[in-house]
Amino acid sequence: MMKIPAPRLLPATMATMAALLVLKCGVLMQAVVTHDPTSDGAMVAAANAASSDQTREPVKPTAPQKPVVPTAPSPVPDNPSPVSDSERALLQDLRQRRQELDARAAALKTRESMLVAAEQKLSARLTQLEALQKKLEGLDAAQQAKEEAGWQGLVKLYEVMKPKDAATIFNDLSMPVLLQLMDRMKDAKAALVMAAMNTDKARDVTAQLARMRTGRDASGAPVARLNGNPAGGG
């Protein structure tokens, strides 16, 4: 059996590559002859892109910057000027006067508080005295009413007696008691009793009653009424 020789692939491949190379060269020559700007631009752009891609370096990302905050200028300490002796003395004088005024204000406040307390105490005492005065006036009025009731009882007793019998008793009575009785008796009853009394005694009683009822003595000088009792009526 005969062996079929294996085909030689290398010469055929080389021949095919050579044909393709010739074809490409023909296309390039046609492009140069026709001078197509589009093809030139495309070729130049491709060349520039290739060169820029080769020469371009990768850009490193930059870190974000922090905002700058303006700082206030530090205050410059002022050097205090030295205090003179006269200024120091003036300051001490002012301080002393201030202390004196504060002490005086405190003393006035204390005195005002004492005056307010004393005024309140005096007002309370005055209220007590007014209440006591009203009480005393009431007691005095009750006492006078009691005394008046006693005198009126005696007057009625002598008014129902016979004038001669009453005159006999009146002749021996003291003048203050006799005046109190005669001053409260009715005028008609008093006249009958005085007519039966001793003449001198009746004269003295008449003069005393005139002084007591008119408020004046025989010379015309004012006199006080006995116990403020009103004159008897007829």
Residues 6 or more apart whose CB falls under 8 angstroms from that of 159 comprise: 185, 186, 189
CB 192 within 8 A of CB 222: no
| pLDDT value at 20 more than 60 | yes
> Tell me: the pLDDT tens digits for 212-221?
888 765 555 5
Quickly state the pLDDT bin for 229 (edges 50, 70, 90): very low
The mean pLDDT value for 155-163 works out to 92
pLDDT at residue 163, rounded to an integer: 92
| pLDDT value at 68 more than 70 | no
Please tell me which residue, 20 or 141, carries the higher pLDDT value. 141
Question: Phi and psi at residue 30, in whole multiples of 5°?
Answer: -65, -35
Alpha helices, DSSP H, located in 56-198: 85-159, 163-170, 175-184, 187-196
In this structure, what token pair is assigned to residue 168?
């006999």
| pLDDT value at 209 more than 80 | yes
> Tell me: the pLDDT tens digits for 76-110?
555 556 778 888 888 989 999 999 999 999 999 99
Please tell me which residue, 162 or 18, carries the higher pLDDT value. 162
| pLDDT value at 230 more than 70 | no
> Tell me: the pLDDT tens digits for 174-185?
999 999 999 999
| pLDDT value at 32 more than 70 | no
The mean pLDDT value for 193-203 works out to 91
- CA 158 to CA 165: how far, in whole Å? 9
pLDDT at residue 110, rounded to an integer: 92
Identify which of 40, 61, 43 has the alpha carbon closest to the alpha carbon of residue 51. Answer: 43
pLDDT at residue 16, rounded to an integer: 73
